[in-house]
Each structure stands twice: as structure tokens, then as C-alpha cells.
Amino acid sequence: MSDSQRSALVTGATSGIGRATAKKLISDGWTVFAAGRRQQQLETLATECEQLPGRLVLVATDVTDNASIDALFSTVEAAGGVDTILNIAGGALGAESIADANIDDWQWMIETNVLGSLRIIQKFLPMLRAHGEGTILNLTSTAGVVAYEGGGGYNAAKFGQHALTGALRLEEAEHNIRVVEVLPGLVKTEEFASKRMRGDESKAANVYAGVSKPLTADDVADVCSYAVNLPHHINLDEIVMRPVKQAAQHKLIRDEGTL
């Protein structure tokens, strides 16, 4: 597979950062296998990408289900394989304290963020090793390196994914697999906060209230694309990105009168 025939699997491609990253790579001329749970959103993505130079293959996939991942692998393998995996599927659910946390929420976050990435990686590692210049990019979060009140479950999941990524980089260097981690801070997307707050749009809006320029899905997609488009010998191990207004996890500047 030459540089002009780069091919990637992008999970979480139905919305937010995953969707934006799939579109960005297709714009760059890649073949992209867009994996996500919602077929309708995948078909909408296909319509949006019709005039772009790359090639899009839609694969309805649930990263928490082994049979679904087996089917995904079969589709990718039959279509020529990939050299790059971008694990972007994930999310947060709930903002309760640990004392009041819902175990089912934690279970979902760990299944989706940590074990979902693990399942994809284990399934596709032999393909990436055989390619000779494979890349795995895991989208984690600044929540994976700094804990905060009300974030215990998401912290636990993203800390776990962060640790998985670090161990993978050490283990797979001998197979010439590049392992990249992108850790965004505050990103405003159409679904992340809404889902976390169980559809309470007022609470979701409060997450971003007064922050005039949070990161966007396109911002993160640009960084992910840049990292995997670099010559293979260059590894951006960990890329922490935040809006300027978020100087640290605990310091967010909210401007008065800004919605």
C-alpha cells in the first residue's frame, strides 16, 4: 500500500470527532472505513463525502460486541485492509459524584472507551503488523490524566484508555507500529454533553457557557489527520490540545455575556 493509497478504520464515525475525522481523511484522499452504530448517520456521512477525493466504506459496527467487530474485520480484509486505526468511539455518561454514581454508567463508559478500543486493537494488530508500517491513534482526553469532581467514571475510563495506549506503544514498537494519543480538553460537539447529561439540554449548555471558543470536532479532526499523515517514522506520542480559555483542567475562563 503506497502513501497515495493510505487506508484507515475510523470508529465512532456517526457523530462528533469521529465523523469529522472520517471526513477529513477522505478529503485528504484516504480510503476510510467508517464504523459506527447508527446506519442512518453513516448514510448521511456518505452523502456529505460524495464529492471528496477519497473512498468511503460504511460499516455498521458496535465496538462493545465481538461478533460485530468480527464482521467489521471481514469487510475491511475483503476490501484490501488498512494501515491505520483511529479509535474514536467513546463518550461519557453521567456527572454524579462517586458516592452517587450509577454502576451501569461506569460499565458503559469502560466497555466503550477502554474495552472497545482493546477489541479493535486485538482484532486488527496482525493486519497492521503484516503491513509493516501500521499506525494506531487512540482518542483519549485530558480527563485521562487529571481527575475532577463529577468525572470519576469518565476519568476511570479515560485513565484506563490512556494506560492501554502507553503500554501498546512500548509493546508494538518492535513491530514498527506507531501509536499516537490525542488528548483533547473542552470540545463542543452536537452530542457529547447532551448524552452525558441524559438529554438535559440546559445542563449540557452549561458545560460550555461563557466559553467563546471551545475546541470543535473539526479542530480535533485536523490534529488527528495531521498526526497520521506525517511520515511513518515520526510519532507524536501524546498530543494534549485545549482551547486557550482552558489553561488547565481546573481553570476555564468563562466570559460574561457569552453564550
**Domains of the chain, each with CATH number or no CATH:** 3-252 (3.40.50.720)
Q: What is the pLDDT of residues 24-51, one digit of tens each?
A: 999 999 999 999 999 999 999 999 999 9
For residue 1, the model assigns a pLDDT of 42
For residue 5, the model assigns a pLDDT of 79
Ranges of residues in the chain whose predicted pLDDT is under 70: 1-4, 256-259
For residue 79, the model assigns a pLDDT of 97
Dihedral of CA atoms 31, 84, 6, 39 in degrees, nearest 10, equals 0
- 215 by Cβ neighbours in 10 Å (0-12 / 13-18 / 19+) ranks as buried
Within 8 A by CB and 6+ apart from 158, the residues are 90, 113, 140, 141, 143, 144
CA 225 to chain centre: 12
Distances (CA, A) of 239 to 31, 109, 138, 226: 24, 22, 11, 11
Residue type, 92: A
Cα 44 to Cα 42: distance, rounded to the nearest angstrom: 5
For residue 4, the model assigns a pLDDT of 53
User: What's the pTM?
Assistant: 0.94
For residue 256, the model assigns a pLDDT of 67
Cα 177 to Cα 35: distance, rounded to the nearest angstrom: 22
Task: Give the number of other CB atoms < 10 A from CB of residue 238.
Answer: 16
For residue 3, the model assigns a pLDDT of 45
Grid cell 474514536 is found at: 88
Look over the chain and give the mean of its residue pLDDT values, rounded to a whole number: 95
| Contact by Cβ (8 Å): 170, 122 | no
Cα 89 to Cα 71: distance, rounded to the nearest angstrom: 17
Cα 216 to Cα 221: distance, rounded to the nearest angstrom: 9
Rg (the chain; Cα; Å):
18
Is 154 tagged catalytic? Answer: yes
Cα 218 to Cα 252: distance, rounded to the nearest angstrom: 21
For residue 187, the model assigns a pLDDT of 96
Alpha helices, H only, 173-241 = 192-196, 201-208, 217-229
For residue 193, the model assigns a pLDDT of 79
For residue 104, the model assigns a pLDDT of 97
